[in-house]
Structure 1
């Protein structure tokens, strides 16, 4: 390196030093009084009022303490001579409050007494720890028996045989990165990324993924997912078609009009193609598919961060959204009646034909409906098999009240 280059680097270093703003203090004095004024002290008071505790963190104290035990090894930090570390209890409670309310970091600092900069690191890290700690609560089916168990649940509870899961997707509003243009702009006119979910008959996710930009529509989100790839590579270990009440039916996933009709994926008939038999099929499919709509309704109702725009760096969106899905399964499993009481679900009155939908998400969160296109003839044949089954061997006595 010659003398001219040395002088150039020295000048750049001097300019950078001049531009660096001198810190007037290490941290604001009131933020140092976290032990006295933070929301962890409020939580101590809320222990006497279980319902208020639940509303604050979206779970009971017992469930919270168990979750804290699971994530502590992953989020615990050492104190130094310079400062005391933020405890796992403070980290987890701040994260759950963020998920429950959707408040931004600047607002959250006043109740947690943690700086927005620190919250910007703590919350995504804790969400990633939650996702890892709860992995046993959202296991993807591993073999044919797992799929058969799911299908049995749909047949017993919702009268839809050979159903492997109800599928839907929701747009989650985001703050796009600089220079993104219309890359994340969805058909409703706001920037989003899509959360794709598949639920079993017990309102639990068996699969969820997040991150496809909101511009992708017409069921293309499903085609970008790893489950779609495995489906077409025949690596999901799905059961072979088998007989139900004298009819041989394949095993399928179900969804609404946003998805494409394939041999492995059933959807409703369009309104202009309906007759009485197809109306019965649409009703029976809709009856089972409402599961995933209720799942998303419960999820958004409990974790308000998914209801409004997530204003964080886009690389941190994924652990935040997926942690909500993992927490949903966890809470459905350990405290179902508290987390999702009966009014959360859709209910049918089979004597009158009236349907109460339960918790639902807003219309602007839904995927765009699929446009007309060429219909796969094999898929059309399979759909007609289900039409025939629901109108004959598999009919239920009350179905005509709902068509």
Structure 2
């Protein structure tokens, strides 16, 4: 496993990154030899798990490759994913909880995507799944398959800073948000967001906020686009600027599904197992993004901004979104007056000399 040749193509990470994960998770997945048989090594346990996530191969296919029974591989993958998530979530899937941490995210959004006071982009995806026969799972949508829905917040560098996974049918990302720990902590003021401050180069006081799509609720700490009906010029500008910030969530999901290809097609596992491999995958994604691993995200793989503030689409778009599908849209109505006024102030700021960028006129 230390041979670099071909390693990245199979695991989407370097041998060094593999060894880092092995040192971390090895003690938790080590098994004792018995008189009857030798235990499968932690190296092989991690290897087969990462190969499953990176390639999406079936347990039967991996069984032939590793000379390990398919049922044993299934057990190894679930145990190792559980161990990875348990050990990595504190450092690699952590929601910020201090003003300093939130300000760092906001500064990145401002410098990279020209959206000030942004704490993260909200996004959601459905993963279609097909539980094995006789698994006891109900066919809720009468089409022979279920879905698992992920709602997540993503920072300006494509890292997931919060995620929740729901297994109920026909749930929107806005619905998952409403019942999430993130929403609860936002409502109770437990996340220590920075206080409202003037927007750059202006005296317009503005709270710090997440950005979401049209299905999200409009709140003081969450801004969404104007409805696409009879918009004036400044509203179109606001929507364009917001879409620039929100696309980091789309990119994060797309990088995930194009690198951890278990999500490329329908996942043939029970919902609770899909949740387990999904949370472990988010941790691995964040770990590799944090290390700026070129085996995982080579240059130009994700969208990037050129010198004129124009967005250049990443090469992931040539490979599609795999099994990740948009979630059902359920629009919220009757927005509160204060968030509406706040959005209008942001709209006016983006068309002012203090807040405009050259590329916005070309995209509306």
TM-score by length of 2: 0.90
Provide the residue aligned with 1:333 in structure 2. 290
Map of 1:374 onto structure 2:
334
Contact persistence 2:216–2:331 (CA under 8 A) = no
* Structure 2 Cα separation of the partners of residues 90 and 97 of structure 1: 10
- Out of 92-101 and 111-120, give the one that drifted further: 111-120
Partner Cα distance (1:282, 1:371) in 2: 16
| Structure exhibiting the larger radius of gyration computed from Cα positions | 1
Distance 1:385 1:351 in 2: 25
TM-score using structure 1 length:
0.82
> 1:354 touches 1:402 (CA, 8 Å); kept in 2?
no
CA 1:217 to 1:59, structure 2 compared with 1: closer, same or farther past 3 Å?
A: same
Match of 1:219 among 155, 158, 174: 174
Q: Larger relative contact order (C-alpha < 8 A, sep ≥ 6)?
A: 2
Pairing 1:252-401 to 2, within 5 Å after superposition: 252-347=209-304, 355-356=312-313, 358-360=315-317, 361=321, 365-371=325-331, 373-392=333-352, 393-401=354-362
Residues 1-49 of structure 1 deviation map (CA, whole Å, 9 limit, x = unaligned):
xxxxxxxxxxxxxxxxxxxxxxxxxxxxxxxxxxxxxxxxxx57xx161
Q: Which moved more, 1:378-387 or 1:360-369?
A: 360-369
Inter-partner Cα distance in structure 2 for 1:262 and 1:154: 19
Whether 2:139 is the aligned partner of 1:181: answer yes
**Residue of 40, 43, 65 corresponding to 1:86:** 40
What are the ranges of 5 or more consecutive residues in structure 2 without an aligned counterpart? none
Shift of the 396–352 alpha-carbon distance from structure 1 to 2, 3 Å rule, reads closer
Q: Which moved more, 1:298-307 or 1:135-144?
A: 135-144
SS at match of 2:229: helix
SS in 2 for 1:85: coil
Is residue 2:104 matched to residue 1:149?
yes
Point out the more displaced range, 362-371 or 56-65.
362-371
Please, which runs of 5 or more residues in structure 1 have no aligned partner?
Answer: 1-42
Greater share of residues in helix: 1
Distance 1:191 1:212, change over 3 A: closer
Separation (CA, whole Å) in 2 of partners of 1:351 and 1:152: 19
Task: Label 1:263 to 1:112 Cα distance change in 2 as closer, same or farther (>3 A).
Answer: same
Cα separation, 1, equivalents of 2:240 and 2:278: 31
Question: What is aligned with 1:35?
Answer: none
CA 1:354–1:84: 2 relative to 1, 3 Å: closer
Change (3 A) 1:354 1:77: closer
Number of residue pairs aligned between Structure 1 and Structure 2: 354
The more displaced of 389-398 and 90-99 is 389-398
Contact 2:263/2:323, CA 8 A, preserved across alignment: no
Q: Secondary structure at the match of 1:279?
A: helix
Q: Does the C-alpha gap of structure 1 residues 213 and 242 become closer, same or farther in structure 2, counting only changes over 3 Å? A: same
TM superposition outliers: structure 1 runs of 4+ over 3 Å: 347-355
Q: Tell me the distance in 1 between the aligned counterparts of 2:47 and 2:229.
A: 51
The aligned residue for residue 210 of structure 1 is: 165
For structure 1, which segment, 205-214 or 350-359, has the greater mean C-alpha deviation from structure 2 after superposition? 350-359
The 3-state SS of whatever aligns with 1:219 is helix
Pair 53,218 (structure 1): closer, same or farther in 2 beyond 3 Å: closer
71, 76, 84: which one pairs with 1:130?
Answer: 84
